[in-house]
Every structure is written in C-alpha cells, then in structure tokens.
Structure 1
Amino acid sequence: MSYGIKAYKSVGVKDDLAVADPHRVIQLLMQGALENMAKAKGFIERKDFAGKSAAISKTMAIISALQSSLDMKAGGEISDNLFALYDFMNNQLIVASREQSQSKIQEVMDLLLTIKSAWDQIPVADREKGYAMRSAMPQGAA
C-alpha cells in the first residue's frame, strides 16, 4: 500500500474519532480488533511471527479497552457477561499466539462479530436515552 493511501486511512480514522459519539467509538474499536485479527491470521499463514505478535497485541489492547469501557454499575448482568467474554477472548488470543492457531483467532473473531452486530443494531433513540442517563448522573458516579 502506498504511503499516501496509508496516510489517508490514518487521517480518516482520526477524523472519524474526533467527531464520534461514544457508540461510534466502540464500533471503531471493534472494527480495529477484527481487522487486526484478520491480519494476524494472514501473518500466521505467511509464518511472519513478528507481524502476528504485533497484530495480536494490538487486538488484545483493543479488547482490554472495550473491557475497561464497561459501566459495571449501570450495566448489571450484561456488563458482567461482557467483561467475562472479553477476558475469555484475550485468553484465547494468548493461546492462539502461542499455538499459531488461526482457528482460535477465528473463534474470537466470531464472538466479537456477534457482539458488534448487536451493538450496530442499537437504535439511535436508545443511544440518545443512554447518553441522557449518563449526563444526568452526578459527577464521579459514572
């Protein structure tokens, strides 16, 4: 890929993040994790172990960011389940990296695609309700 295209893609993501609402940020994080897992699978196929390690490390950092963004108080059981699922994903990625396992990476991709699909279907009205609830919370309670 040429430098110009890489720069354009980088700026595009930065611009998207600069104006993104919290819902969109989570979408972008999930998309980034999926893209890095796809790259990791390709690196394994090409026996590029350094590339694989970098892609899996980026994916794990993104999944950890998703995990830390959960509102454990307001989210209740859903947040608890997602926290455990994100933990499982990161553990599977460790195993995938160690075993050079494309199938383990695919398993994590499938799980994240299911979560992302549900996230993408949240209606705008429900998102707005969530933003209103968050802004109505006392400072420091969130």
Structure 2
Amino acid sequence: MNYTHNQAAMNKYAQVGNQSTAAFANPHRLIQMLMEGALEKISKAKGFMKNGDIAKKGEHISWAISIIEGLRVSLDHTQGGKISENLESLYIYMNSRLTQANLNNSLEMLDEVTTLLVDIKSGWDAIPQDVIDEHAKSDAGKRPASLAKARI
C-alpha cells in the first residue's frame, strides 16, 4: 500500500472514530468537537495557504465556515440571552473574516479567527463538570440528542 492509500485509510479511520465519538457525546462535548474541528480546518488552511495550494486552502476555509455556522445555529437564544446574542455576532464576524482571509490570502485574518475561537473554547472548556452533568439531566427526555441545542 502506498502513501496515498495509507493516508486515505487513516483519514477514513479518523472519520469513523469522530462519528462514533459524536454519536455518544453529550451536547457540551459536541460543541467542543465542533470548535476543535474548526480550529483544525483553519490550521490546515494556513498550511495550504503557505504552500500555495489555493484549492485546498479554500476547501478547508469553507469547511471551517460551515462548522462555525453550525455553532451559530446551535445557540439557544431563549436560554442564553445576551451571551448567545454576543456569540452569534462573534460567529458571524469570524465567518466574515474567514471569507476575507480566503479572498485575500491573509494568514493574519486566519490567526485572528483562531485567537477568537480559542478564547471561546477555553471558556467552554472551563465549565465545571457538575454544571455539565446538571444540564444533561435537565435535557434528558426533552428532545433527541441529535436535535439538542447548546444552552448558551
């Protein structure tokens, strides 16, 4: 098996692993996974941008935009109030900057979005486990996990 086939197999294995993890993850972990995925796509886009691979750069930036849009639509404005409104504005801003970064080949804009997303993720990661558990209990039975929204 050559490198290309090895890489394809490894990518498929990682995809199946991520799908398995997502199937059993609570809503809090799903949001973490989305943020991790967006950060990974932005990082890869930076590498492709540096190497002049315009097609792959655009593909990974588009993927990051889609992930951040998924974060935006997962916001629960009835529970989240002002915080969810602020996050929505920030997600819209990040997607705008990613679009501009793609058009202008701007590493600085990619770095800006990375910094913003890392800041949000660090806050999300700092939520105490007892709060996560309580949230999971209050959501149990209300709706299918696949339709659960983040309460931000």
Establish whether residue 94 from structure 1 lines up as the match of residue 88 from structure 2.
no
* TM-score, with length taken from structure 1: 0.91
Aligned-residue offset at 1:130: 2.1
For residues 100 and 89 of structure 1, the distance between their equivalents in structure 2, rounded to whole angstroms, comes to 15
Higher relative contact order (CA 8 A, sep 6+): 2
Inter-partner Cα distance in structure 2 for 1:37 and 1:81: 22
For the residues of structure 2 that align with 1:129 and 1:6, how far apart are their CA atoms? 35
Paired with 2:19 and 2:39, the residues of 1 have a C-alpha distance of 18
- Give the aligned partner of residue 11 of structure 1: 16
| Identity, % of aligned positions | 40
User: Per-residue deviation at 1:5?
Assistant: 1.8
Gaps of 5+ in 1: none
What is the letter of the counterpart of residue 50 of structure 1? A
Aligned partner of 1:25 in structure 2 is: 30
Partner of 1:126: 131
Secondary structure, in 3 states, of the residue corresponding to 1:47? coil
Q: 1:103 aligns with which of 92, 100, 108?
A: 108
Structure 2 residue ranges without an equivalent (≥5): 144-148
2:91 aligned counterpart, secondary structure? helix
| Structure-1 residue corresponding to 2:85 | 80
Q: Is the 8 A contact 2:101 2:110 kept in 1?
A: yes
After TM superposition, the structure 1 = structure 2 runs for residues 20-59 of structure 1, keeping only pairs within 5 Å, are 20-59=25-64
CA RMSD for the aligned pairs? 1.8
Find the aligned partners of 2:139 and 2:76 in 1 and give their Cα distance: 10
State the distance in 2 between where 1:80 and 1:48 align: 36
Deviation at 1:4, TM superposition (A): 2.8
Q: TM-score, normalised by structure 2?
A: 0.85
Shift of 1:14: 1.0
